[in-house]
Amino acid sequence: MNEQISFIVEIQNIDMELLKFEELLKKTFNEIEDSQNNLKSKELELERLKEELREVNKKIGCSELDIKSYEDKIIKMKDTQKLIKTNKEYNAIQKSIKDNEALKKKSEDEQLAYMEDKETINGKITLIQKEIQELAYELSVKNAEYKKNEREFEAVKKDFLDKREFTKNKIKKDYIDIYEAVKKNKGFPAIATVMQSGACTGCYRMLPPQQFNELISENVFMQCPVCSRILYIDTTLSASASSAGKVSEKLNKNKI
Ligand SMILES: [Zn+2]
């Protein structure tokens, strides 16, 4: 393979490795953000339920007072009734007792309904508290994972960037500029292999035969006429592996 081309391939491999790390970090970061939002909305829901519980407790308290006051009235009226002489008065008090008993019954029914509401709300609160606990745990696991990935990335990043700089310095400026421009516009691959059929693996269009033949000669720097990607023929995988080996060998020597 043309040496310049092999260096560009090497640069692309480094860039793709760096991107892989960045994407992994971004993915975990997004998951953390989602979990945080989820947790926040559950906490808001819990606050709302607690407020609802306070309201229903107030209503239960009020109906208790109502029931008590009806009971007191009934007792008093029953006491008064004992001292009454006329039928008319007796009947009037009897009616009042019945009315208050009906009101008391109504308040008791309301209280019962409030108690049921309270039970439902308490059930929801227990459930949401459990969900919050689980989400908080999940979040702490994700945060730890993010920090671990970040540390790993920091540990290898410098090495990758040093290798990149070392390789980049061996590539003609025009070529590296083209590589960077294509990478920016098209993403990966910025340097693409050409299939045996003569198709660019970046856009899958066929190269004109003349151009394909030139490329086979291996001594040309060529871009795809359709997608602008830098083209090369990956003659054998072992050839590219050995050229990568050479680069890392040199890198190691350079380090020493
Ligand atoms: Zn193409």
Give the mean pLDDT of 214-224. Answer: 88
Give the mean pLDDT of 98-111. Answer: 98
What pLDDT digit, counting tens, does each position of 56-70 carry?
999 999 999 999 999
Residue ranges per structural domain of the chain: 24-156, 173-255
Q: Higher confidence at residue 74 or residue 219?
A: 74
Residues in the chain: 256
Quote the ligand 1 centre to 230 CA distance (angstroms): 8
Could you count the other beta carbons within 10 Å of the beta carbon of residue 224?
A: 21
Residue 156 pLDDT > 50: yes
Rounded CA-CA distance 108/213 in Å is 95
Residue 86 pLDDT > 70: yes
Rounded CA-CA distance 107/102 in Å is 9
Query: What is the predicted pLDDT for the residue at 180?
Result: 98
Quote the ligand 1 centre to 16 CA distance (angstroms): 19
Rounded CA-CA distance 59/37 in Å is 33
Residue 194 pLDDT > 50: yes
Quote the ligand 1 centre to 72 CA distance (angstroms): 93
Order the strands of the 230-232 sheet from edge to edge.
Answer: 191-193, 230-232, 222-223
Query: What does the mean pLDDT of the chain come to?
Result: 91
What pLDDT digit, counting tens, does each position of 11-32 carry?
999 999 999 999 999 999 999 9
Quote the ligand 1 centre to 203 CA distance (angstroms): 4
Query: What is the predicted pLDDT for the residue at 235?
Result: 73
Query: What is the predicted pLDDT for the residue at 236?
Result: 57
Rounded CA-CA distance 11/230 in Å is 13
Rounded CA-CA distance 228/222 in Å is 9
Quote the ligand 1 centre to 172 CA distance (angstroms): 22
Residue 49 pLDDT > 90: yes
Quote the ligand 1 centre to 181 CA distance (angstroms): 15
Quote the ligand 1 centre to 21 CA distance (angstroms): 27
Query: In the chain, pLDDT over 70 holds for what percent of residues?
Result: 92
DSSP-assigned letters across all residues of 128-139: HHHHHHHHHHHH
Quote the ligand 1 centre to 6 CA distance (angstroms): 19
What pLDDT digit, counting tens, does each position of 231-254 carry?
999 875 434 444 443 433 333 333
Query: What is the predicted pLDDT for the residue at 115?
Result: 98
**24-156 has CATH 1.10.287.1490 classification:** yes
Quote the ligand 1 centre to 228 CA distance (angstroms): 6
Quote the ligand 1 centre to 191 CA distance (angstroms): 10
Q: What is the pTM of this model?
A: 0.70
